Structure 1
Amino acid sequence: MDIERFRKEHVDLMAAVTSLRELVQHGISEQAVAIHRQLSAMSSAIKLHLAAEDRMLYPALARAADPVVARTGRQFQEEMGGLAAAYMAFAARWSLAARIAADPQEFRDDANSVFKALHLRVQRENRELYPLAERL
């Protein structure tokens, strides 16, 4: 299975997170509008990525003849549900620039938590899941 698209999306997502961190470093309240725009763009990209994984990657892994591959794919898909829900709740909570500007420390704490989990997930997919998919 060709998973180059998924790998590229991971690179793009991590670059977007870096851009978001740079905005945060320049002041959350001062950059709230730009942060909001960045979050909106990231949310769209994440939703598309997750939908593609659900439509293509996970079904292909589930059909694998190797039970370890199929089980690993199911495990990753189940785990992703919790992370996806956490990210969507984060995005909904901070869906207004005024809300971001009004509580910069809470935004920072929330963002750090969500993006740390997202970063760890991307690393695991790159290291564990995608090599399995490439063998298909």
Structure 2
Amino acid sequence: MELKNYMVQHDRIREELEIIKTLCKSGDLEQTASEIALHISSLAGKLNIHLSSEDQYLYPAFIKSSDPSLVTMAGDYQKEMGNLLALFTSFKEKYNTKFKILGEKDSFFGEANQIIKAIEMRMQKEERGLYLKVK
């Protein structure tokens, strides 16, 4: 199975995450909130494309595998991803505009850090586990 496209998508997702992290490090939400909101929306688009592709093509192929451990692993990963997608969707809806970010200054940085780490950990898990099993 060709995983190159999925790895490219991971790289694009990582780029958005790095931009958001850099903007957050400035600590000046008054100056960066609009740009952060833009990149949250961009990240949402990239995640939706990636997850749709995984759900429609990648995971169904894994689940049809003759390797029982791959079938189990793919099923477990799919279940976990549903939770992460729900968390990210909630985060995006809460912080997808400058005014929403500025209105929740006290919680924004902690929640942003939490969701970024969760997405990064998920991609690492796929790359170091499921994707390696298929190569």
Structure 1 residue 22: Cα displacement? 1.2
- Give, as a single letter, the amino acid of the residue that structure 2 aligns with 1:4: K
Q: May I ask how many residue pairs the two structures share in their alignment?
A: 134
CA contact (8 A) 2:12 2:46 kept: no
Q: TM-score, normalised by structure 1?
A: 0.94
Structure 1 residue 9: Cα displacement? 0.9
Q: Deviations over 1:73-124 (max 9, x none)?
A: 1110011000111001110111221011222231101111111111111100
Equivalent residue, structure 2, for 1:2: 2
The answer to which of 85-94 and 97-106 deviates more is: 97-106
Structure scoring higher RCO (CA < 8 A, sep ≥ 6) equals 1
CA contact (8 A) 2:14 2:120 kept: yes
Query: In 2, Cα distance between the equivalents of 1:74 and 1:132?
Result: 14
Structure 1 stretches lacking a partner, 5+ long: none
User: Is 2:105 the counterpart of 1:104?
Assistant: yes
Equivalent residue, structure 2, for 1:79: 80
Equivalent residue, structure 1, for 2:12: 12
Q: Deviations over 1:36-89 (max 9, x none)?
A: 111111101101100000011100000000111111111100110001110011
| Ranges of 4+ aligned residues in structure 1 off by more than 3 Å | none
Pairs within 5 Å for 1:1-136:
1-26=1-26, 27-134=28-135
Q: TM-score, normalised by structure 2?
A: 0.95
Structure 2 stretches lacking a partner, 5+ long: none
